[in-house]
Structure 1
Amino acid sequence: MKAEMRQQPEVLAALADRWPTLTAQVAALLDSAPPLGVAFLARGSSDHAALLGRYAVEVQTGLPTCLVAPSVATAYGRPPEGFRGWLLVALSQSGRTPEIVDLAHRYADAGARVIGVTNDGGSALASAAHLSIALEAGPETAVPATKTVTGQLLAVLAVAAGLAPGGLTQAQAAALPEAVARVLADGESADRAARRLADHDRLAVVGRGACYPAALESALKLQETTGLMAHGFSTADFRHGPIAVCGPDAPALLLAGSGPADADTLDVRAALAARRAPVLLAGTAPDADLPWPALGHLGECLPATVRGQQLALATARHLGIDPDQPAGLNKVTLTN
């Protein structure tokens, strides 16, 4: 896991170098008829990348955007007939998850244009798509996905940038590898934070806007690597009731960057203090326990996600757990 995490700046730099090609390919696919809406299809970590894509597309274009519930078609038998003229972005790190491949075919048959985002450009998902975006991150063998996740995050921002003006620029994309490298160079912050988590068995991970997908992914990484009952929340939803789970024995990890939604996450600290809940702050504030560089755009989700990876790895090591082989988990989950 540590070795694959350290490969992320290189993987992201290669994707940023391809930025003009990727955005032009997306624009060309949709040139004859702009999409009526954009749907994202994914499971697990890929679903968190899809959520960032949804934010980017909605903010940039105003198009109707959704996350597909695969079971609607696979379990309940409802065909995706209403998605004619839509764009479907299907994400799978391996490109081999049966239901994702199956639904990519079904949406294409129903008249949607399909973009496949996968690490393997020769996979079944890549073959099912009208346009394949291969991450080209190299083999990923640790069960907790790291470099393919941040690769997917950058890939969905490229898709959004190809849809309409106003998306992430190539210069902004090219600055992300350095931002991630700076986070990776600071392992001490993660070690200190891991020591503070060691005596707890449950944790709320909270973020909003660009930090919400990172909060969900960070919670998943902690679950996978340590068995900690970590749960990710939108800050707004957290205020509506789940904050009640936090107290002296249940800390909160807050992710707050430099975007317009992050002040709300910083403000929730007062309510947590009233509950005497320990708080770890990750973000761009001067007092952040787990800092990352302020970027001012949705790409901040990437260094935020890497901070979550670091914390999961450090916590697993502190607890004497092998993060590369979590008990009862497989690298590829073949859901149908």
Structure 2
Amino acid sequence: MNATRLGRLMDAEMRQQPAVLAAMADRFADVGAQAAALFGGGGGPAGVAFLARGSSDHAALLGRYAVELQTGLPTCLVAPSLATAYGREPEGFRGWLLIALSQSGRTPEIVDLTRRYAAVGARVVAITNDPDSALARTAHYTVGLEAGPERAVPATKTVTSQMLAVLALASGLGTGGMTAPQAAELPAAAAQLLTDTAGVDRAAALLATVDRLAVVGRSACYPAALETALKLQETTGLMAHGFSTADFRHGPIAVTGPGTPALLLAGSGPADTDTLDLRYPLTARYAPIVLAGTANEATLTWPTLTHLGECLLATIRGQQLALAISRTLGIDADHPTGLAKVTLTH
């Protein structure tokens, strides 16, 4: 089979991202204003909690960074099993904002937990691609992704749209975050990446020969590292694992060596120098390195934006890499063995 026929749906949906992001960027200021309006003149939320699974959880992590950076509010990622398995109700979240993310809006535990948080007095925002879903009906305000149908099992356009949505929500909760003009830069930057595949092909040629890989990033690049590892896992079966740069130094770096490369994601933020500095201990371990980011010497580059929106560009590079490796291995990324588009966890 022609390799370009493998992963056709994933490829097509990735290429829709500039248009999907442009639509979200057009609503950026309004989404932020709606988040602020949920609390009227009451001074804003007492804290912000994010509820998600899978790829949506990686968008939630970006949102947590954005909210903490801009507002200093207590912020957390909800552990659904505390309620669904252990029976702990979220009584302490009255006056908080809960941001629940589910691309389908149908994951039972996400819908269930959203109802529980609303019942104890949290204000709830849903981010979903289905504005008529059970999750949307539970929320006080819904950010519809408007990404259109997504049929490939690996989520692509919905993930980056979720990431831009959480940045928009964060912008309404405090000053100093991404602005609407900055959001408007992202569609063109995404389009530029999607037409630039030479570095992707070089990286894929190396990584298709290994069965283990560390994907490492910090700050804005950490959610992208986790998402890239997930895309590699589900499309290729590669034992890829995402790490925070700081956590990676605390022991997991020991997994790398001549047969276990590291994919480093490093943009233009203040924490990215730490990731770039990993090249020295990795070289001492004879570990192959693929660098992705804003540095001139990176194999996979993206434009320097100097804000958290670079997470979306790093995520797109990870999508491209997953698709390229799967094609090199003769795997159809659209239909990974044993996986379904919607995972109905409880």
Tell me which residue corresponds to 1:283: 293
1:8 pairs with 2:17: yes
Distance in 1 (CA, whole Å) between partners of 2:68 and 2:315 is 21
Residue correspondence of structure 1 range 36-47 to structure 2 within 5 A: 36-47=46-57
Please tell me the residue identity of whatever aligns with 1:269.
R
1:127 pairs with 2:137: yes
Structure 1 stretches of at least 4 aligned residues deviating more than 6 Å after TM superposition: none
**Partner of residue 18 from structure 1, selected from 11, 27, 31:** 27
Tell me which residue corresponds to 1:182: 192
**Partner of residue 259 from structure 2, selected from 249, 272, 281:** 249
Shift of 1:21: 1.5
Distance in 1 (CA, whole Å) between partners of 2:273 and 2:22 is 30
Tell me which residue corresponds to 1:139: 149
Distance in 1 (CA, whole Å) between partners of 2:304 and 2:234 is 28
Tell me which residue corresponds to 1:334: 344
Distance in 2 (CA, whole Å) between partners of 1:205 and 1:30 is 39
Tell me which residue corresponds to 2:168: 158
Distance in 1 (CA, whole Å) between partners of 2:295 and 2:176 is 26
Measured against aligned partners, the alpha-carbon deviations of 1:175-219 in whole angstroms (never above 9, x if no partner) come to: 001111111111121111100112100000000000000000000
Distance in 2 (CA, whole Å) between partners of 1:221 and 1:298 is 21
Please tell me the residue identity of whatever aligns with 1:195.
A
Aligned-partner SS, 1:191: helix
Shift of 1:37: 0.4
Deviates more, 1:188-197 or 1:209-218: 188-197
Shift of 1:257: 0.2
Distance in 2 (CA, whole Å) between partners of 1:167 and 1:35 is 17
**Cα RMSD (Å) of the superposition?**
0.6
Per the normalisation by structure 1, the TM-score is 0.99
Tell me which residue corresponds to 1:110: 120
Tell me which residue corresponds to 1:197: 207
Measured against aligned partners, the alpha-carbon deviations of 1:214-261 in whole angstroms (never above 9, x if no partner) come to: 000000000000000000000000000000000000000000000000
**Partner of residue 311 from structure 2, selected from 294, 301, 305:** 301
Aligned-partner SS, 1:230: strand
Unaligned stretches of 5+ in structure 2?
Answer: 1-9
Q: Is the 8 A contact 2:97 2:125 kept in 1?
A: yes
Aligned-partner SS, 1:298: coil
Please tell me the residue identity of whatever aligns with 2:144.
A
**Partner of residue 62 from structure 1, selected from 62, 72, 78:** 72
Residue correspondence of structure 1 range 26-41 to structure 2 within 5 A: 26-33=35-42, 34-41=44-51
Distance in 2 (CA, whole Å) between partners of 1:243 and 1:165 is 37
Distance in 2 (CA, whole Å) between partners of 1:167 and 1:238 is 28
Please tell me the residue identity of whatever aligns with 1:74.
T
Distance in 2 (CA, whole Å) between partners of 1:234 and 1:333 is 26
Paired-residue identity, % = 74
Distance in 2 (CA, whole Å) between partners of 1:276 and 1:20 is 47
Distance in 2 (CA, whole Å) between partners of 1:39 and 1:220 is 23
Tell me which residue corresponds to 1:149: 159
Please tell me the residue identity of whatever aligns with 2:36.
A
Aligned-partner SS, 2:278: helix
Shift of 1:30: 1.9
Measured against aligned partners, the alpha-carbon deviations of 1:45-65 in whole angstroms (never above 9, x if no partner) come to: 000000000000000000000
Per the normalisation by structure 2, the TM-score is 0.96
Aligned-partner SS, 2:242: strand
Unaligned stretches of 5+ in structure 1?
Answer: none
**Partner of residue 72 from structure 1, selected from 66, 82, 90:** 82
Distance in 2 (CA, whole Å) between partners of 1:32 and 1:221 is 42
Tell me which residue corresponds to 2:7: none
1:53 pairs with 2:42: no
Tell me which residue corresponds to 1:94: 104
Distance in 1 (CA, whole Å) between partners of 2:131 and 2:290 is 39
Please tell me the residue identity of whatever aligns with 1:252.
A
Distance in 2 (CA, whole Å) between partners of 1:31 and 1:61 is 17
Please tell me the residue identity of whatever aligns with 1:148.
T
Tell me which residue corresponds to 2:235: 225
